[in-house]
Amino acid sequence: MRRKSGFTIVEQAIALVPEFKKVTKRMEEQVVLRGQSISTLSNYIRRIAAFVVHFGKLPEQIEPDEINTFLVALARDPRSPSRSTFKHMVYGLRYYYRLLGMNKNAIALPSLKGDTKLPVILNRAELKELFAAPALLKQRIVLALIYSAGLRGQEVINLKISDVDLERKTLHIRQSKYKKDRVVPLAEAMAVGLRRYLAAENPHVWLFNGKEADGRYSVRGLSWVMRENLKKTSITKSVNLHSLRYSYATHLLEQGVNIVTLKELLGHADITTTMIYLHVAQCDLVKAHSPLDRLYNYTSA
């Protein structure tokens, strides 16, 4: 995130409070040691940086009453109706305090109620309309692939060409959330589409090349593709990129895949995370597959 000055919020924080550079290095080291998500770390660092820029000091140098006033203002901010900025700031501060061994400060932060909303699912007709919306082949392929294999945004941008086995119809997801590898089925229709895409785009190393420094696409870019193509459809549901993964999970349950198999396909660490989808369908045991095959009733020649 770059501000008008041309500097990122982290660079601004370091310029304002040089000690913050040591903090970011320590946080990065802890994430590596704990095997945690780099994207989560980046989010936490940006939140703490925004805090530092606001106060001109590190969090441990600010009185609790001042912090509470700051958090209340974030919670009431009309530009963030879901209170996401407030919640992520609390998560970031909590992580920061625990990293410094200041557990009392972490506990003193506001408690956040878990989100009990059920995921919004796209139905078959809506998915077909969405996948038909992009004018560019690359955009059609990336949206269909996310649904086809139930991928997280970060998993999509980390895919290399070598992770796709078009002969065996598999997709190898490497070191995703919780540092887990998994292999998921690749739909027949998706294999056909990927062959066309690879021949037309000729990507290098990464399956989806983009403008990131290392040549990858960005999650922000994926979200933009989803938003822009939703505008071309008649879909009125409040959905985002992750809704394709929700739809994947729900449709597999409806098609009879059991909850344990689904847990492995989604790469969940705990089956309780997967159980949110149980309200949709009964779970009969069937062979794991991609729901995209049944979306178009595709069969191989």
Domain ranges of the chain: 9-108, 124-295
**Angle, alpha carbons 194-196-197 (nearest 5°):** 60
Please say if 279 is a catalytic residue.
no
The residue type found at 280 is: V
Please say if 128 is a catalytic residue.
no
Report CA-CA distances (Å) from 105 to 54, 102, 110.
19, 6, 10
In the block, tokens 């847990």 appear at 263
Catalytic option among 138, 177, 180, 182: 177
User: DSSP secondary-structure letter at 281?
Assistant: -
Catalytic option among 47, 152, 216, 289: 152
Catalytic option among 91, 242, 294, 296: 242
Phi then psi for residue 216, to 5 deg, are -85, 165
> Using an 8 Å Cβ cutoff, are 23 and 29 in contact?
no
Please say if 289 is a catalytic residue.
no
Residue 82 has a pLDDT of 57
Please say if 180 is a catalytic residue.
no
Residue 135 has a pLDDT of 96
Please say if 177 is a catalytic residue.
yes
Report pLDDT digits (tens) over 176-227. Answer: 776 789 999 999 999 999 999 999 999 999 999 998 889 899 999 999 999 9
The residue type found at 248 is: Y
The residue type found at 185 is: P
The answer for residues whose C-beta is within 8 angstroms of residue 35's C-beta and 6 or more apart is 178, 179
Report CA-CA distances (Å) from 175 to 28, 35, 164.
17, 10, 15
For 184, the token pair is 């998921």
- Low-confidence stretches of the chain (pLDDT < 50) are 1-4, 281-283, 301
**For the whole model, what pTM was predicted?**
0.62
- The domain over range 124-295 is classified in CATH as 1.10.443.10: yes
> Using an 8 Å Cβ cutoff, are 238 and 117 in contact?
no
> Using an 8 Å Cβ cutoff, are 91 and 44 in contact?
yes
**Angle, alpha carbons 261-263-269 (nearest 5°):** 140
Residue 185 has a pLDDT of 95
> Using an 8 Å Cβ cutoff, are 30 and 76 in contact?
no
Catalytic option among 46, 47, 245, 263: 245
Sign of CA dihedral 9, 13, 16, 21: negative
Catalytic option among 88, 128, 268, 294: 268
CA 148 to CA 140: how far, in whole Å?
12
Kind of pairing between the strands at 170-173 and 164-165: antiparallel
Residue 15 has a pLDDT of 93
Please say if 152 is a catalytic residue.
yes
* φ/ψ bin of 78: left (φ > 0), alpha (ψ from -120 to 50), beta (otherwise): alpha
